[in-house]
Amino acid sequence: MVGLRERKKQRTRRALIESALQLFDEKGFEKTTLAEIAAGAEVSTRTFFSYFASKEDVVFYDTHERMELAKSMLARGEPGKSPADLLASLIDNILAWMSAQEDLTFEDAELRLRLVLTEPTLQARALTLLFDTQLALAQTLHETYADELSLIEAAAAVGALFGSVKLAVIANLENNRSLEEIWDTVRRAADIALAGMRSLG
Amino acid sequence: MVGLRERKKQRTRRALIESALQLFDEKGFEKTTLAEIAAGAEVSTRTFFSYFASKEDVVFYDTHERMELAKSMLARGEPGKSPADLLASLIDNILAWMSAQEDLTFEDAELRLRLVLTEPTLQARALTLLFDTQLALAQTLHETYADELSLIEAAAAVGALFGSVKLAVIANLENNRSLEEIWDTVRRAADIALAGMRSLG
DNA sequence: TGCAAATTTTCAACCAGTGAAAACAATAAG
DNA sequence: CTTATTGTTTTCACTGGTTGAAAATTTGCA
């Protein structure tokens, strides 16, 4: 499993990601061609598509991983915690990850945010990724609390939480805020959404 | 304003929409080419792009109109109504429109739903349209209740409401439900989201 | 009728994405 | 070390969405 083949593939993947992000940063997403990305990684254009399904997908190279983490957290659950509390701690965890910038360099995160806010195609991709993630999380939450939460209720909860946070953050992003201010916004938006669940049971 | 020119343009627009929807219905979105759509409307391929910015946009030909309606409802407000109540009646209004099928024929609505659930590109477009709509509605709501609701709170409220409804409906769509069942889901999801606002003030 | 403005067509080009066959590199077996 | 096998990359040819610009056509108006 750790043969030369695997290592080479990982290296090529990294090279493609780095080439792409650098070019996107320098010249913008639209103005960068796949040919240039591939050239930067020293592979043929065709090869790009055996690593990523589309030009947009390079930008979200680590999203699947992160989604799995979130899912496993909801799947594990925590004895004695209500669904609302579990979701609240999910938000806390996500904030902690982002502050800790574990694997992703901070520049990557900033670049990604800028690109997503700027380029319509990337915004669209981000929204569908987020949407799919929410569906998966709702399903997981429902399974974790099978007796208490119907699938619809779980979906409503997850949708309300993410919808609230997403829109509040974006609406508050015009002026360039500090990270702390953004975290505050996240928490306030999450509270508004979670209050609904708590007040209903 | 109602010269021959305008009328002709409206006719061409209609022709393009009908040609496109019919072809999408028959052969699917991906398998239909712009050349075919244009041929069906008896215009050149290039002309298509002076009516719609992309192949996807034909499917959402009336979305802007509907969004403006929703916005004006929030802008008008209703004396004595809390933001949560106003949003609740917005949902009721939307349900009423959809049941009444005012301008859009029912087949169009069904086709659109099928396409959006089926074709990834259309799903992406739908999500960004919905996202932009929400931002505009949040802004409007904030302006209507300038003293009570900060922009962030308005965004959180709108995001929670739409996020909840959207995800609950989709999560509940696997099996083919009746309209009444879907309306129920909408109302339940809306209640969960709005309870948060009400319990906070 | 004839000029000016708006609209459509034609034409050429760019780029993302796909399929298939050929070339190449890595692994395992003898 | 050579060879057969299998996985990966390259090359090539093609489709289709999208854009820009100039030419041709249509409409509005004097």
For the residues A23-39, what does the mean pLDDT come to? 97
Q: Is the pLDDT of residue B100 over 80?
A: no
Give me the CA B4–C1' D29 separation in Å, rounded: 13
**A152, A165, A185, A188, best to mutate vs chain B, most B CBs in 10 Å:** A152
Task: Give the pLDDT score at A179.
Answer: 78
Residue A33 CA, distance from chain mean position: 24
What distance in Å separates the CA atoms of residue A92 and residue A94, rounded to the nearest whole number?
Answer: 5
Q: How far is the CA of B46 from the C1' of C10 (A)?
A: 9
pLDDT at residue number A103: 59
- Of the residues B60, B167, B172, B191, the best mutation for testing chain A's interface (the one with the most A CB atoms within 10 Å of its CB) is B167
Nucleotides of D under 7 A from a protein CB: 7-12, 15-21, 27-29
How many Å apart are B153 CA and C13 C1'? 49
Burial A38-63 (b: 16+ CB within 10 A, else e): bebbebeeeebeebbeebbbbbbbeb
Q: Which residues contact A140 (CB under 8 A, 6 or more apart)?
A: A71, A74, A75
CB of B136 within 7 Å of some strand D atom = no
Q: Any idea which architecture B4-54 has in CATH?
A: Orthogonal Bundle (1.10)
Residue B175 has pLDDT above 90, yes or no: no
Answer yes or no: is pLDDT of B1 > 60: no
**A155:B161 CB<8 A:** no
Average pLDDT of every residue of chain A: 92
CB pairs under 8 A between A and B: 169
Q: Are B158 and A167 within 8 A, CB to CB?
A: yes
The predicted model scores a pTM of 0.94
Strand ranges for chain A from DSSP E: none
* pLDDT over threshold 80, residue A102: no
Rounded Cα distance between B35 and B32, Å, is: 8
Over 90: is that where the pLDDT of B130 sits?
yes
Residue-level pLDDT at B29:
98
In this complex, do B188 and A134 lie within 8 Å of one another by their Cβ atoms?
no
pLDDT at position B16 is 98
Would you say how long chain A is, in residues? 201
Query: pLDDT per residue over B135-161, tens digit each?
Result: 999 999 999 999 999 999 999 999 999
**Per-residue pLDDT at A100:** 75
Give the up-direction half-sphere exposure of residue B118: CA atoms within 13 A in the CB hemisphere: 12
**CB pair distance less than 8 Å for A159 and B152:** no
Q: Does the pLDDT of residue A70 top 70, yes or no?
A: yes
Q: What's the pLDDT at A105? A: 65
In the CATH hierarchy, which fold is given to the domain comprising B60-200?
Tetracycline Repressor; domain 2 (1.10.357)
Residue B128 has pLDDT above 60, yes or no: yes
The string of pLDDT tens digits covering residues B34-66 is: 999 999 999 999 999 999 999 999 999 999 999
Reply yes or no on whether the pLDDT at A82 is more than 60: yes
Query: In this predicted structure, what is the pLDDT of residue B99?
Result: 80
Quick one: pLDDT at residue B108?
78
* Lowest mean pLDDT segment, chosen from A81-90, B56-65, B104-113, B119-128: B104-113
Please tell me which residue, A100 or B123, carries the higher pLDDT value. Answer: B123
Residue B4: per-residue pLDDT: 59
Rounded distance, CA B16 to CA B34, Å? 10
B106 band by pLDDT with thresholds 50, 70 and 90: low
Between CA B17 and CA B43 the distance in angstroms is 12
Amino acid type, B63: T
Cα(B98)–Cα(B92) distance, rounded to whole angstroms? 10
The answer on pLDDT for B98 being more than 90 is no
SS3 track for chain B: CCCHHHHHHHHHHHHHHHHHHHHHHHHCCCCCCHHHHHHHHCCCHHHHCCCCCCCHHHHHCCHHHHHHHHHHHHHHCCCCCCHHHHHHHHHHHHHHHHHHCCCCCHHHHHHHHHHHHHCHHHHHHHHHHHHHHHHHHHHHHHHHCCCCCCHHHHHHHHHHHHHHHHHHHHHCCCCCCCHHHHHHHHHHHHHHHHHHHHHHC
Domain ranges of chain B: 4-54, 60-200
Cβ neighbour number for residue B14 with a 10 Å cutoff: 12
Quick check: B5 pLDDT over 90?
no
| Rounded average pLDDT over B11-21 | 97
Contact, B155 vs B141, CB < 8 A? Answer: no
CA distances from B50 to B2, B14, B32, B125 (A): 19, 13, 19, 19
pLDDT for residue A51 is more than 90: yes
The dihedral formed by the CA atoms of B120, A161, A136 and A100, expressed in degrees to the nearest 10: 100
- pLDDT of A197 higher than 90: no
Residue B171 scores a pLDDT above 60? yes
Structure token digits, residue B170? 């989709």
Residue B31 — pLDDT band, cuts 50, 70, 90? very high
With bands split at pLDDT 50, 70 and 90, how would you rate the model's confidence at A2? confident
How far from the centroid of its chain's Cα atoms is residue B28's Cα?
Answer: 21
> For all residues of chain B together, what is the average pLDDT?
92
pLDDT of A111 higher than 70: yes
The Cα–Cα gap between A34 and A39 comes to 8
Q: What is the DSSP letter of A178?
A: -
Query: What pLDDT sits at residue A173?
Result: 86
Instruction: Taking residues A43-59, report their average pLDDT.
Output: 98
CB distance A161–B163 less than 8 Å? Answer: yes
